[in-house]
């Protein structure tokens, strides 16, 4: 029997402040990796809501997406199982809000880092995905799409019948 292909949908934030980018260092099956705040889109939320939630859970910062950087695909083998995985990432930039030092970080997140673009580029071998640097490079190139390019049907926000 053929198993249907189902990419994992993720949301990510590229956040820049004073020439530095917010990254998280996280424990993975492949060791400590660097990523922009990112994670899986949950049922019942819009991509923008998911992105704001992930930023809060992984960095303890409030975040409001204001533009879509792009939609990205990447493929890899899951180290623990050898499973072929494809990730569809929607990356956003936006407004950084308040930091709550009392907010616990998601399981696996070791710390947050503010890195220059040169540091981000130099650490590419430690990135969780090749999309980390690509999204930041697109941000630096001025790529911005209005949030209106994403249509979320209201059925997403309703409980299934």
Tell me the domain boundaries of the chain: 8-143
111-149 pLDDT, tens digit per residue, is: 999 999 999 999 999 999 999 999 999 999 999 999 999
Whole-model pTM?
Answer: 0.92
Local confidence band at 64 (pLDDT 50, 70, 90 cut-offs): very high
Question: What sections of 12-160 are H helices per DSSP?
Answer: 47-59, 117-122, 131-140
SS3 assignment, position 72 = strand
Give SS3 for 80. coil
Whether the predicted pLDDT of 31 surpasses 70:
yes
Quote the CA–CA distance of 43 and 69 in Å, as a whole number.
22
Supply the pLDDT for residue 34.
98
pLDDT at 80 over 70: no
Question: What's the gap between Cα 137 and its chain centre?
Answer: 14
Q: What are phi and psi of 68, to 5 degrees?
A: -90, 125
Percentage of the chain with pLDDT > 70?
95
Contact (Cβ atoms closer than 8 angstroms) between residue 35 and residue 129: yes
The overall average pLDDT reported for the chain is 93
Which residue, among 12, 95, 91, has the nearest Cα to 61 in the 3D structure? Answer: 95
Q: Look up the CATH architecture of domain 8-143.
A: Alpha-Beta Complex (3.90)
Nearest alpha-carbon partner for 35 in 130, 105, 158, 118: 130
**Cα dist from 114 to 9, 34, 70, whole Å:** 26, 11, 22
Average pLDDT over residues 72-80: 80
């Amino acid at each position: 029997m053929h198993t249907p292909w189902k990419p994992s949908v993720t949301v990510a934030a590229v956040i820049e402040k004073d020439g530095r980018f917010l990254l998280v260092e996280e424990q993975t099956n492949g060791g400590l990796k660097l990523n922009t705040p990112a994670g899986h889109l949950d049922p019942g939320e819009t991509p923008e809501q998911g992105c704001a939630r992930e930023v809060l859970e992984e960095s303890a910062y409030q975040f409001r997406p204001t533009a879509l950087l792009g939609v990205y695909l990447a493929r890899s083998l899951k180290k623990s199982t050898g499973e072929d995985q494809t990730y569809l990432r929607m990356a956003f930039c936006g407004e950084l809000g308040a930091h709550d030092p009392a907010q616990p970080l998601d399981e696996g997140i070791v710390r947050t880092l503010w890195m220059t673009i040169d540091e981000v580029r130099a650490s590419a071998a430690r990135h969780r995905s090749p999309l980390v640097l690509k999204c930041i490079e697109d941000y630096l190139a001025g790529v911005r799409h209005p949030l209106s390019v994403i249509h979320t049907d209201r059925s997403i926000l309703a409980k299934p019948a």
